[in-house]
A and B are shown apart, each in its own frame.
Chain A
């Protein structure tokens, strides 16, 4: 019989192992790292883009990608705040207007992008590359480039409050992850997503409505980007036109570090969460160790490349 398969084991658990090692390392280097305050901080930070990363996992599973999520987050967040402001900011239900508007705007934009991908067969990379600048521009137009601020306490609670000691964005993240996991593991829809990503032609011949499934994942990631936009504005106390710049890369990196294949059909929510946490821990830990933010970018870039390189290596040595 063959012995212990180290390469296979590392391929499966390597990222988690690396995450644990990082936590131990940063914890040992600086006692502040593992303080409740800092851990809460990391988790809240991770939650905002983690929510989008759950949706992005499904997009990437179908073999697509969405580069517009960072801009969409800003646009939807701004749209929510704008509608709320127009209706009057002082009602106790103002936040409800903002959160629904942001999510709906996100979903609508996502649907539009999904339709562009399926109806005109434009590669998702191109559609969402366009979307990335379109929605950033739209955000700037919406409020003439200036932020919308001055939210009430009810609104701020969604970003800064907590439920039983757990920050509200983290609770949201948990709920989205749970829903995402159930979808992936236990539903027909989840199976269909893997099928479409694994072999679109075979999926079609098995009676799946491939364009509809593809459109739906863009709608989903759009809605989640909108939700994240609301949460971020509540956390920062302002909807900013520059909110979420570069988030698309962080989100895609989370999914890819989590082991998903950009060709589709392989990956999952579990890996994505590890990937998102890895980026969050690394960013925070390097700040605490006073490593300059310039270097952080280099480190994160190297890790993305290393993770994928190892995966490729492991695959070729089966």
Chain B
């Protein structure tokens, strides 16, 4: 009794009730509630389209709820607040795409708009001292005068967190904070979160990676289809149960059965190498990489981000240059392709790593997105788009891939991540490629759609296509692949048969050997 009494005595830091938000044609939020206690890390869970992003935008002040009330730190939140006013209250949101100014120094970013002043001028000495202290307090020892653009993604994220701390954050909202981090960097981030938590800061932690929820979160709230579903303590809850709450049904992440045995070798890549340019986009050198893919086979690429998986795939597709090597298609040797245009003509297709930056034309329609590289094949006299055949094509793939959309004329940016990914897959299927490369097939899409995408990839392999699938999720590589190529620091460290491979074996080949480095160096 006494315990429940003390719980009642401590009002939550953030208390959001009955939030509604309507977008044209969609009810994004329908009576959502969320309570965050002081000093806790709270997981906000739900599939894509469940309403998490909308809720975050309303909390940060970027959007206004149609209805509902919220209190923060004991006072009602004014719905008309701007993001800046919310930040001043200590409610700070860190988005996936950071809000840092790349050409300014770390210190300038940390104290933007709140620069320490002396007689009306910026006190640079004080600013750099404060910045150094602040960075040290979150375990980052870099020179605060460095420009942000020279930092790694993980370091930039630390600067964002540092900025939140500098603004006396009471609640830090993090949207998919580990999407672009390697395993080691994730650990460091979690250490910083725990440290700040011990100093009384609360977190809302949005993620698709449920193992991280178990690692770092205290409690959770689940949304589904814009509605509040459940909340609870993380301790004692199984990941399975969380998934059930998110999708409302059981989803197995099992190895999909394959009935067709791989056929002849479609693609052989021999001795691809490239010198690294330090600090540039191709920092990691590629060292004598050779692979083979057979018809009807899924070849998995595993490895940490930057280990060479995506880099090799882009070289094969002609998107990046290499210094030497040979590729052969159906036994015919040729020099590495020099542009994606050549690659598509040679029978390749690529679903790129970053859906928004490299895949979608967000403002353009679904059908325009889907048919762009195939227009040549459905054009009259090579010039005019045959809209009848285009419509047919879109309808065909919409049915095959079960793409959920109002009509094919709406902008692709309005679709959920899973449906966007299906449109990009359809775009590649329409090219009828011999070799399909899919980089991160299910990044940032919900679990239901994941299973569907996995099934599609298997079906494509069954139909005789050769597939290369790159993924940071080991369970995904294991479930999909026939064979797995493991990359580490620009080298191939092993090729495993997927049926006998385990996460442990993969990890052993992926991990950088040597004595554990100090946290600092690895960030």
Contact = CB atoms under 8 A, between A and B. Distances in A.
B383 A205 contact: no
B24 interface: yes
Contacts of B24: 2, 5, 318
A5 B24 CA distance: 9
Interface string A43-70: 0000000000000000000000000000
A269 interface: no
A5 to B, nearest CB: 7
Interface band, chain B: 20 to 34
Contacts of B345: 207
A206 B462 CA distance: 25
B97 to A, nearest CB: 15
Interface string B24-39: 1100000000000000
Contacts of A203: 361, 372
A189 B343 contact: no
A91 interface: no
A194 B373 contact: no
A199 to B, nearest CB: 5
Interface of A is mostly: helix
Interface string A186-204: 1111011011001101111
Given A188-B375, A204-B340, A266 B363 contact: yes
Contacts of B382: 188
In this complex, the member of A188, A192, A203, A207 whose beta carbon has the largest number of chain B beta carbons within 10 angstroms is A207
B155 to A, nearest CB: 24
A186 B384 contact: yes
Contacts of B343: 207
A206 B22 contact: no
Contacts of A191: 368, 372, 375, 385
Interface stretch (B138-146, B352-360, B446-454): B352-360
A29 interface: no
Contacts of B362: 198-199
B433 to A, nearest CB: 11
B364 interface: yes
Contact of A194 (B357, B361, B427): B361
A203 B364 CA distance: 12
A201 B358 contact: yes
A307 interface: no
Interface string A1-12: 010010000000
A58 to B, nearest CB: 16
A207 B375 contact: no
8 contacts: A186-B385, A187-B384, A202-B359, A203-B372, A204-B340, A205-B352, A208-B373, A265-B363
Given A5-B24, A187-B384, A202 B360 contact: yes
Contacts of B372: 191-192, 195, 203, 206, 208
Given A2-B24, A202-B359, A204-B319, A187 B385 contact: yes
In this complex, the member of A189, A199, A206 whose beta carbon has the largest number of chain B beta carbons within 10 angstroms is A206
A208 B342 CA distance: 10
B368 A194 contact: yes
A90 interface: no
B376 A188 contact: yes
A194 B317 CA distance: 23
A187 B22 CA distance: 37
Contacts of A192: 372
A201 B319 CA distance: 10
Contact of A195 (B350, B357, B364): B364
A207 B361 CA distance: 14
Given A198-B363, A202-B358, A2 B373 contact: no
Closest 10 CB pairs of A and B: A207-B344, A198-B361, A207-B341, A206-B373, A188-B375, A207-B373, A199-B361, A206-B372, A207-B340, A205-B340
In this complex, the member of A2, A189, A202, A204 whose beta carbon has the largest number of chain B beta carbons within 10 angstroms is A202
Given A2-B25, A189-B383, A207-B339, 10 more contacts: A187-B379, A195-B368, A198-B363, A202-B352, A205-B319, A206-B373, A207-B341, A207-B345, A265-B364, A318-B24
Interface in A185-232: 186-189, 191-192, 194-195, 198-199, 201-209
Interface in A1-50: 2, 5
B383 A187 contact: yes
Interface residues of A, number: 24
Interface in B364-396: 364, 368, 372-373, 375-376, 379, 382-385, 387
Nearest to A1: B25
Contacts of A198: 361-364
Contact of B340 (A5, A194, A206): A206
Interface in B285-329: 317, 319
Contact of B341 (A186, A194, A209, A266): A209
B383 to A, nearest CB: 6
Contacts of A266: 363
Contacts of B350: 205
A189 B372 CA distance: 11
B343 to A, nearest CB: 7
A255 to B, nearest CB: 17
Nearest to B373: A206
A198 B384 CA distance: 21
Contact of A208 (B25, B319, B341, B385): B341
Nearest to A190: B385
In this complex, the member of A2, A195, A266 whose beta carbon has the largest number of chain B beta carbons within 10 angstroms is A195
A206 B341 CA distance: 7
Contact of A188 (B339, B360, B379): B379
A33 B298 CA distance: 72
Contacts of A202: 352, 357-361
Nearest to B317: A205
A194 B387 CA distance: 17
Nearest to A8: B24
Nearest to A182: B384
A199 B375 contact: no
A265 B361 contact: yes
Contacts of A187: 379, 383-385
A287 to B, nearest CB: 39
A194 B411 CA distance: 13
A205 B373 CA distance: 9
In this complex, the member of A199, A209, A318 whose beta carbon has the largest number of chain B beta carbons within 10 angstroms is A199
A209 B338 CA distance: 12
Interface in B12-48: 22-25
Nearest to B371: A191
In this complex, the member of B23, B382, B384, B387 whose beta carbon has the largest number of chain A beta carbons within 10 angstroms is B384
Nearest to B382: A188
Nearest to A204: B340
A2 B26 CA distance: 10
In this complex, the member of A188, A194, A203, A265 whose beta carbon has the largest number of chain B beta carbons within 10 angstroms is A188
Contacts of A207: 339-341, 343-345, 373
Interface string B188-205: 000000000000000000
A202 B358 CA distance: 4
A63 to B, nearest CB: 12
Nearest to A212: B341
Contacts of A188: 375-376, 379, 382-385
Nearest to A198: B361
A198 B385 CA distance: 19
A111 to B, nearest CB: 21
Contacts of B379: 187-188
A191 B364 CA distance: 10
Given A205-B319, A208-B341, A199 B360 contact: yes
B311 to A, nearest CB: 15
